[in-house]
């Protein structure tokens, strides 16, 4: 369903993605692991249509249809969701107002009725249980002063509310203590459905103890250089990335 074909992208004339090939079928969870600055966040932003990045080759397709000509909000309406590595803070916009607008935009695109304030709050409170998120946060400005764990829970709450077809999670584990990590991972695990494709970017195997990927990919210098099952994540954890770099250099 989500297909990356020889995807190349650059920023300020600097090539970052150097030909990424990846197919994620409905129901699958794929993990992408890779060192800092290898281009993992760039990959997630290019898929969702961040305007700073220029696609210089290849394609991103959802059910065979290219996303590249679509604006970010059209991609969102088509069911593509990104949970940010660094969620933005928006002072003055209540979390509940932001989430309700996002949910209703997606519902409208799907031909469903918009939720009124009461119906939205009922739904939000129900979904918040999934990530053990404090209800008070709904009434505060979006992400403003949220702890790292609260921001990540909020991202997963958003995913639960939007019910995306393709969810891309950029380091949902960064900055989390072990308990928050378990809660966030099991929240994502609960959102795994036979229809949904999930791409999770992570540095650490630990997240993958709770969220079992079907496939693991090692990302290095703008490309996927190794693909395997969950065991590949363990290998990276014990051997680091240098081993893959060395193997690439001699290949």
Q: What is the binding site for ligand ADP (CB under 6 A)?
A: 11-12, 16, 34, 36-42, 52
CA torsion angle for 133, 193, 98, 77 (degrees, to 10)? 170
The single residue among 38, 41, 154, 158 that binds Mg ion, judged by CB under 5 A, is 41
Q: How far apart (Å, rounded) are the C-alpha atoms in residues 12 and 134?
A: 40
Using the structure block, give the residue that is written with the tokens 């939007």. 162
Q: Which does 38 bind (CB under 5 to 8 A by kind): ligand ADP, Mg ion, none?
A: ligand ADP
Tokens of 38: 């290898």
We find the least distance from the C-beta atom of residue 54 to ligand ADP, in angstroms, to be 11
Q: For residues 40 and 100, which CB has a smaller minimum distance to ligand ADP in the complex?
A: 40
**Count of residues of this chain found to bind Mg ion when the rule CB under 5 A is applied:** 3
Sites for Mg ion among residues 112-151 (CB under 5 A): none
Q: For residues 16 and 200, which CB has a smaller minimum distance to ligand ADP in the complex?
A: 16
Q: Are 207 and 176 in contact (CB under 8 A)?
A: no
Using the structure block, give the residue that is written with the tokens 């600055």. 37
Q: For residues 85 and 96, which CB has a smaller minimum distance to Mg ion in the complex?
A: 85
| Exposure b/e, 120-136, CB count within 10 A at least 16 = b | beebbeebbebbebeee
Q: For residues 103 and 225, which CB has a smaller minimum distance to Mg ion in the complex?
A: 225
Binding site for Mg ion (CB under 5 A): 40-41, 85
């Amino acid at each position: 369903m989500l297909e990356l074909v020889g995807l190349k992208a650059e920023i300020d004339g600097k090539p970052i993605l150097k030909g990424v090939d990846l197919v994620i079928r409905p129901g699958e969870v794929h993990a992408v692991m890779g060192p800092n600055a290898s281009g993992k966040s760039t990959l997630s932003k290019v898929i969702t249509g961040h305007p700073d990045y220029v696609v210089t080759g290849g394609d991103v397709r959802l059910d065979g249809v290219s996303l590249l000509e679509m604006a970010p909000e059209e991609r969102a309406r088509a069911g593509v969701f990104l949970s940010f590595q660094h969620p933005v803070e928006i002072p003055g916009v209540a979390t509940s107002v932001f989430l309700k607008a996002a949910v209703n935009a997606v519902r409208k695109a799907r031909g469903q009725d918009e939720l009124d304030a009461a119906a939205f709050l009922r739904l939000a409170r129900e979904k918040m249980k999934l990530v053990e998120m404090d209800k008070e946060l709904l009434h505060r400005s979006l992400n403003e002063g949220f702890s790292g764990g609260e921001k990540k829970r909020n991202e997963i709450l958003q995913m639960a509310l939007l019910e995306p077809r393709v969810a891309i999670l950029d380091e949902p584990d960064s900055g989390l203590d072990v308990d928050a990590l378990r809660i966030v991972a099991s929240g994502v695990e609960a959102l795994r459905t036979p229809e949904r494709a999930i791409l999770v970017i992570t540095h650490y195997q630990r997240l993958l103890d709770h969220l079992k990927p079907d496939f693991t990919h090692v990302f290095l210098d703008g490309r996927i250089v190794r693909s395997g099952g969950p065991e590949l994540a363990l290998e990276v954890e014990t051997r680091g990335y240098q081993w893959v770099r060395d193997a690439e250099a001699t290949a």
